[in-house]
Chains A and B, each alone.
Chain A
Amino acid sequence: MPGDHRRIRGPEESQPPQLYAADEEEAPAARDPTRLRPVYARAGLLSQAKGSAYLEAGGTKVLCAVSGPRQAEGGERGGGPAGAGGEAPAALRGRLLCDFRRAPFAGRRRRAPPGGGEERELALALQEALEPAVRLGRYPRAQLEVSALLLEDGGSALAAALTAAALALADAGVEMYDLVVGCGLSRAPGPAPTWLLDPTRLEEERAAAGLTVALMPVLNQVAGLLGSGEGGPTESWAEAVRLGLEGCQRLYPVLQQCLVRAARRRDAAAPL
């Protein structure tokens, strides 16, 4: 099978021992459905990237880096009516390229680096959620590259990646309308299921449905939405979206403080 020849691999078909484990793990403990795990966020930690951010929420650890703006490849588009506020015409707007990667040891089973469909889907979700917030019209013919690396998956990985990416863009000094805050939700299977905010990995694995919302808190606009599973009727999904938006609003002050601290650190370190 083509693939990674640099690492010494086990036999073609190797499986983790957990598949053969006899005992079931204990069910996740009951908890307040609206609790958010404590978040540690730090911006401006990578020296080589224009902007970077590290976010840790429970067991989920995400590192995000932004580089650019640099010249976009394939500039064959022509002009058009100019946008408002001195922005470039629509055909010349900048591009946002997002990349989402999982470390091979991030999940329960080892996943070889070219992760295939899932990573591309999450990268597309990142791009669709960040584009409404970034003023791409101010970067004509340029591209901004955002790459998110998931170091450990402890539940709501996409939401954490979204938040980290927005922090990294802000740290890079990219012009934005607002920060994007992400929040994950999951719905347990069973007769009277409720939506749980910010699920842990155990809760996510047993979930019947999962949802990630991305909100721009000041403008109160939903920048991204991705959900699937047996969520039930539309009222149930609407309730989940409301819960998610509320969670995003609660997370916002933490991110503001993180950016202020990063700016102070940058000031203190700047040569006179």
Chain B
Amino acid sequence: MLGLVMSYQGKPISSQPLKITVLKEDLRVDGRGCEDYRCVDVETDVVSNTSGSARVKLGHTDILVGVKAEMGTPKLEKPNEGYLEFFVDCSANATPEFEGRGGDDLGTEIANTLYRIFNNKSSVDLKSLCISPREHCWILYVDVLLLECGGNLFDAISIAVKAALFNTRIPRVRVLEDEEGSKDIELSDDPYDCIRLSVENVPCIVTLCKIGYRHVVDATLQEEACSLASLLVSVTSKGVVTCMRKVGKGSLDPESIFEMMETGKRVGKVLHTSLQNILHKEESLGTKRQKVGFLG
């Protein structure tokens, strides 16, 4: 986190008491174990103007993601595929440090990480986003809004992106070709006739912060301030790792890296199963679901 090392709410803190507790008893300040997540609230379809949206509350971290599907020209090197564009906006409401251009650096960092984790063939089926090769394709603009910052941003954002992509409904279009060869795009009349994306292989990020000799999952702001180095691992539901990155200004022992990867994979799989259950449950409730939105 920018500017938050060794200080919490503007006051310098000592990391010794925290390290001792975590080291000895697998117990953290709020009573969780080293591999426990805080309570996560996920809700999809919160914004009506988008093709798909989701809101995730992880402790004090609040993320809102909106996905808009628009038609455009495919990239030159990949004429048969659509693509995703990520944009992360760190709102000034999140912390005072994000006022003005302050949040831009963090926003670009998170957007680049998202590009990296989706940068492989299996995460999202990009061929299904193609309308006609070399001419038209769907571009999914995934916009992430950071409403409140309470630690562990990457995890919350990746959960929200996965939920939003699950919720995305792309209208079905057909390309009609005249005798003269001019093409026309026809949108289907039925507003519920849409393509859904398969999010089975969409990865989720698990950030493991090194505190003392052990590592913790889902660190709060205070714990992040005590940790000098973290490992960010992006895991799919099958346990395949798509991205790995060391974050922070400290260094890591090679053995801890291997341990952290294993923990990340284990925790990631559990996270995926719970998320899938919630998303399918929400989906099955259909129109009967009570939308909480921002009132809860």
B-chain residues with CB within 8 Å of residue A229 when the two chains form the complex: 119-120, 242-243
Question: B246 to A225, Cβ gap below 8 A?
Answer: yes
In the complex, number of A-B residue pairs with CB atoms less than 8 Å apart: 115
Q: Which single member of B7, B108, B254, B257 contacts A91 (CB below 8 Å)?
A: B7
Question: A128 to B247, Cβ gap below 8 A?
Answer: yes
A-chain residues with CB within 8 Å of residue B116 when the two chains form the complex: 121, 228
Question: A226 to B245, Cβ gap below 8 A?
Answer: yes
B-chain residues with CB within 8 Å of residue A257 when the two chains form the complex: none
Q: In whole angstroms, what is the CA distance A211 to B242 when docked?
A: 11
Question: A237 to B254, Cβ gap below 8 A?
Answer: no
Of B93-101, B172-180, B258-266, the one contacting chain A is: B258-266
Q: Which single member of A80, A117, A209 contacts B112 (CB below 8 Å)?
A: A117
Question: A227 to B245, Cβ gap below 8 A?
Answer: yes
A220 within 8 A of B: yes
Question: A241 to B249, Cβ gap below 8 A?
Answer: no
B-chain residues with CB within 8 Å of residue A209 when the two chains form the complex: 120
Q: Which single member of B121, B239, B258 contacts A238 (CB below 8 Å)?
A: B258
Segment 210-269 of B: residues with Cβ below 8 Å from A:
229, 231, 234, 239-254, 257-258, 261-262, 264-265
- Quote the shortest CB–CB distance from A157 to chain B (angstroms): 16
A48 within 8 A of B: no
A175 within 8 A of B: no
A33 within 8 A of B: no
Q: In whole angstroms, what is the CA distance A127 to B150 when docked?
A: 25
Question: B14 to A81, Cβ gap below 8 A?
Answer: yes
Question: A245 to B254, Cβ gap below 8 A?
Answer: yes
A84 within 8 A of B: no
Question: B112 to A230, Cβ gap below 8 A?
Answer: no
Q: In whole angstroms, what is the CA distance A58 to B142 when docked?
A: 39
Q: In whole angstroms, what is the CA distance A129 to B248 when docked?
A: 9
A interface secondary structure, majority: mixed
B6, B12, B121, B251 pick with most chain A CB within 10 angstroms? B251
Interface string of A200-244 (1 = CB under 8 A from B): 000000001101000010011111111111111110011001100
Segment 242-264 of A: residues with Cβ below 8 Å from B:
242, 245
A149 within 8 A of B: no
- Quote the shortest CB–CB distance from B227 to chain A (angstroms): 13
A-chain residues with CB within 8 Å of residue B197 when the two chains form the complex: none
- Quote the shortest CB–CB distance from A239 to chain B (angstroms): 10
Q: In whole angstroms, what is the CA distance A226 to B98 when docked?
A: 26
- Quote the shortest CB–CB distance from B235 to chain A (angstroms): 9
Q: In whole angstroms, what is the CA distance A91 to B11 when docked?
A: 10
Of chain B, the residue at the smallest CB distance from A79 is B12
Question: A128 to B12, Cβ gap below 8 A?
Answer: no
Q: How many residues of A contact B (CB 8 A)?
A: 42
Q: Which single member of B109, B243, B253 contacts A124 (CB below 8 Å)?
A: B109
Q: In whole angstroms, what is the CA distance A139 to B5 when docked?
A: 17
Q: In whole angstroms, what is the CA distance A231 to B120 when docked?
A: 10
Segment 84-142 of B: residues with Cβ below 8 Å from A:
108-109, 111-112, 115-117, 119-122
Q: Which single member of A81, A118, A131, A220 contacts B249 (CB below 8 Å)?
A: A131
- Quote the shortest CB–CB distance from B187 to chain A (angstroms): 28
A269 within 8 A of B: no
Q: In whole angstroms, what is the CA distance A89 to B6 when docked?
A: 10
- Quote the shortest CB–CB distance from B89 to chain A (angstroms): 15
Q: In whole angstroms, what is the CA distance A230 to B261 when docked?
A: 15
Question: A232 to B76, Cβ gap below 8 A?
Answer: no
Question: A223 to B12, Cβ gap below 8 A?
Answer: no
Interface string of B33-70 (1 = CB under 8 A from A): 00000000000000000000000000000000000000
Segment 23-69 of A: residues with Cβ below 8 Å from B:
none
Question: A234 to B254, Cβ gap below 8 A?
Answer: no
Q: In whole angstroms, what is the CA distance A224 to B230 when docked?
A: 11
Q: Which single member of B229, B248, B261 contacts A237 (CB below 8 Å)?
A: B261
B30 within 8 A of A: no
Question: B12 to A225, Cβ gap below 8 A?
Answer: no
Q: In whole angstroms, what is the CA distance A239 to B6 when docked?
A: 34
B184 within 8 A of A: no
B77 within 8 A of A: yes
Question: B249 to A231, Cβ gap below 8 A?
Answer: no
Beyond A223-B251, A228-B243, A229-B120: 7 further Cβ-contacts under 8 Å?
A80-B6, A121-B112, A132-B249, A211-B244, A221-B253, A233-B239, A234-B265
**6 tightest A-B CB contacts, nearest first:** A132-B251, A221-B251, A80-B12, A225-B246, A131-B249, A121-B112
What residues of chain B have their CB less than 8 Å away from a CB belonging to chain A?
5-7, 12, 14, 76-77, 108-109, 111-112, 115-117, 119-122, 229, 231, 234, 239-254, 257-258, 261-262, 264-265
Q: Please list 29 pairs of residues, one from A and one from B, whose beta carbons are closer than 8 Å in the complex, sorted by A's number.
A: A15-B76, A19-B77, A80-B6, A117-B108, A117-B111, A117-B112, A121-B116, A128-B246, A132-B229, A133-B251, A208-B120, A209-B120, A216-B251, A220-B253, A222-B251, A222-B254, A224-B246, A226-B244, A228-B242, A229-B242, A230-B120, A230-B121, A230-B122, A233-B241, A234-B241, A234-B261, A237-B244, A241-B254, A242-B254
